[in-house]
Amino acid sequence: MSEFEGLVAAVTGGASGIGKATADLLAERGAQVVALDLKPGDDGIRCDVSSDSEVRAAIDAVVERFGRLDILVNNAGIGAQGDVTANDDDEWHRVFDVNVVGMVRLARAALPHLKNSPAAAIVNTCSIAAWAGLPNRALYSASKGAVLSLTLAMATDHLPDGIRVNCVCPGTADTPWVGRLLDSAADPAAERAALAARQPMGRLVTAEEVANAVVYLASPLSASTTGTALAVDGGMYGLRPRGP
């Protein structure tokens, strides 16, 4: 399939995990793809999404290289553990600066170019945490809640510009991020089993499965879809226990 032939995509956090799987799949489907990352690979561009000047320079570099920008995948994100007492103000600002304002910076820089595209789409990587308020993840959950409402607001605002805006909500996905979390657990195998058991399908989702959803929302196959959050979570949210 080459439904992205002639289109250009920028993927933040595109050097690892979900972002890398997404960048690879978009390229396989015919797009020209640039990973924007703190540690970019060979063809990527170094970009810290918490720096407005780096974001603007990176988007300028993409457009200079390829002449256009059609798809923005806002995927870079960082985690934080604990309840509301666990993180001080600086940590709250830092996580929101990357996870939420980072997406705003990218959108601000990309919108003038996306407005010129006949197939413009933004896909934000949200999380099941936005809906579920994950235990011991107050700051992270709040930041992803903001990503969800940002997605809805942007979808509304930019409909007249012909730009669709959607997000994916992964459950626990088997990425280097989760690998690092497991490595730091007292019993990594038991922790992995506990995370898998939390999802009704009894396993972690793969980065490729999340990428499939991102690529669908970025593609003309979802031309009638905007302002949507698509869960890729092994049934965690849809099949959640419901009270009386």
Interacting residue ranges for ligand NAD, rule: CB under 6 A: 12-13, 15-19, 37-39, 47-50, 75-78, 98, 125, 127, 170, 172-173, 175-178
Q: Give DSSP secondary structure letters for 56-69.
A: HHHHHHHHHHHS--
Give the distance, in angstroms, between the CA of residue 103 and the centroid of all CA atoms in the same chain: 9
Tokens read off for 110: 């990309």
**Shortest distance (Å) from residue 205 CB to ligand NAD:** 8
Q: How far is the CB of 5 from ligand NAD (least distance, A)?
A: 26
3 state DSSP class of 76: coil
Q: Can you give the C-alpha Rg of the chain in angstroms?
A: 17
Q: How far is the CB of 240 from ligand NAD (least distance, A)?
A: 16
Instruction: Catalogue the active-site residues.
Output: 140
H or E segment to which residue 36 belongs? strand 32-37
Residue 178, SS3 per DSSP: helix
Amino acid at 212: N
